[in-house]
Amino acid sequence: MIELDKVAYSYGGADLLTGVSLTLNPGSFHFLTGPSGAGKTTFLRLAYGALMPKSGHVRLFLQDRMTMSPDDLADCRRRIGIVQQDCQFLDHLSVAENVALPLTVQGGLNAAAQENLRDLLAWVGLTERADARPPELSGGERQRAALARAVIMSPDVILADEPTGNVDFDMSQRLIRLLVELNRMGKTIMVATHDLTLIRTAKTHVQARVLRITNRQVQSAGADL
């Protein structure tokens, strides 16, 4: 699915990641941990092709990022659902319209897609906010909407950057269950988080590998989690 091979990335002249090698295989579930500023967001941006490595190779569905055309990258992006910390929405559209935007761009909403949209909004607890505009949402509601938008196209891979950072405990458990269920359906999942409780919850339901960014490298977090 996604492979990083001896990848290095620098920011402001300083090395942020060095010698990073990792493969996200079909149906795998990974957590990525590490302190703020360690490079979790940078790693995810490399993994979906938004950043180019200083050295090494990033391969998206067997294609080397260095040689991909803009059209190649766009095709790959359709297979990757991305949940960013700073999620962006169109303020003139409702929550439901923002979540459904990837489907709308692809050709519109048929009856089955509309039913899927309703189910997904219910899953993330936004049914009653479906007609609200993004400026009316809390930070947690925006993150839930971002997760719903990321999975509306049923992507092969879901990369989530602190998806539960601004939600309460009950909602974080609900969202991780959604990701676990998607993984059981064969989706590849990677979640960047500092929430150890979230990781422990997921590991009771799915075989998840826990990684930590330490000394600019991605390493196994060990069995203590």
Mean pLDDT, all residues of the chain: 88
Asked whether the predicted pLDDT for residue 135 surpasses 70, the reply is: yes
7 shares its domain with 54: yes
- pLDDT at residue number 222: 60
19 shares its domain with 8: yes
Query: What does the buried/exposed string (b/e) look like for 132-148 if buried means 16 or more CB atoms within 10 Å of the residue's CB?
Result: ebbeebeebbbbbbbbb
Q: In the structure, what pLDDT confidence band is assigned to residue 200 with cuts at 50, 70 and 90?
A: confident
Query: What is the dihedral sign for C-alpha 101, 182, 82, 92?
Result: positive
User: Which residues, in sequence order, are CB contacts of 33 under 8 Å at separation 6+?
Assistant: 40, 192, 193, 194, 196, 199, 210, 211, 212, 213, 221
How many residues can be counted in the chain? 225
Last residue of a domain, one of 120, 138, 154: 154
* 180 domain-assigned: yes
Last residue of a domain, one of 126, 154, 182: 154
* 30 domain-assigned: yes
What is the arithmetic mean of pLDDT over 188-209?
Answer: 87
* 84 domain-assigned: no
What is the arithmetic mean of pLDDT over 52-80?
Answer: 92
Last residue of a domain, one of 104, 120, 154: 154
75 shares its domain with 170: yes
What is the arithmetic mean of pLDDT over 52-59?
Answer: 94
Position with higher pLDDT, 37 vs 101? 101
> How many domains, in total, are found in the chain?
2
What is the arithmetic mean of pLDDT over 67-90?
Answer: 89
CA–CA dist 176, 164 (Å, integer)? 8
Q: Where are the beta strands (DSSP E) in 80-207?
A: 80-83, 157-161, 188-192
- pLDDT at residue number 118: 92
146 shares its domain with 191: no
CA–CA dist 82, 172 (Å, integer)? 17
71 shares its domain with 165: yes
Asked whether the predicted pLDDT for residue 225 surpasses 60, the reply is: no
- pLDDT at residue number 215: 86
CATH number reported for the structural domain that contains residue 3 in this entry: 3.40.50.300
What is the arithmetic mean of pLDDT over 113-117?
Answer: 87
Longest dimension (CA), the chain: 52
Q: What is the residue type of 152?
A: I
210 shares its domain with 222: yes
Q: In the structure, what pLDDT confidence band is assigned to residue 125 with cuts at 50, 70 and 90?
A: confident
66 shares its domain with 167: yes
pTM for the structure as a whole: 0.88
219 shares its domain with 197: yes
Position with higher pLDDT, 58 vs 171? 58
**Is 53 in a helix, a strand, or coil?**
coil
201 shares its domain with 129: no
- pLDDT at residue number 224: 46
CA–CA dist 120, 104 (Å, integer)? 16
CA–CA dist 219, 225 (Å, integer)? 14
Domain span holding position 213: 1-79+156-225
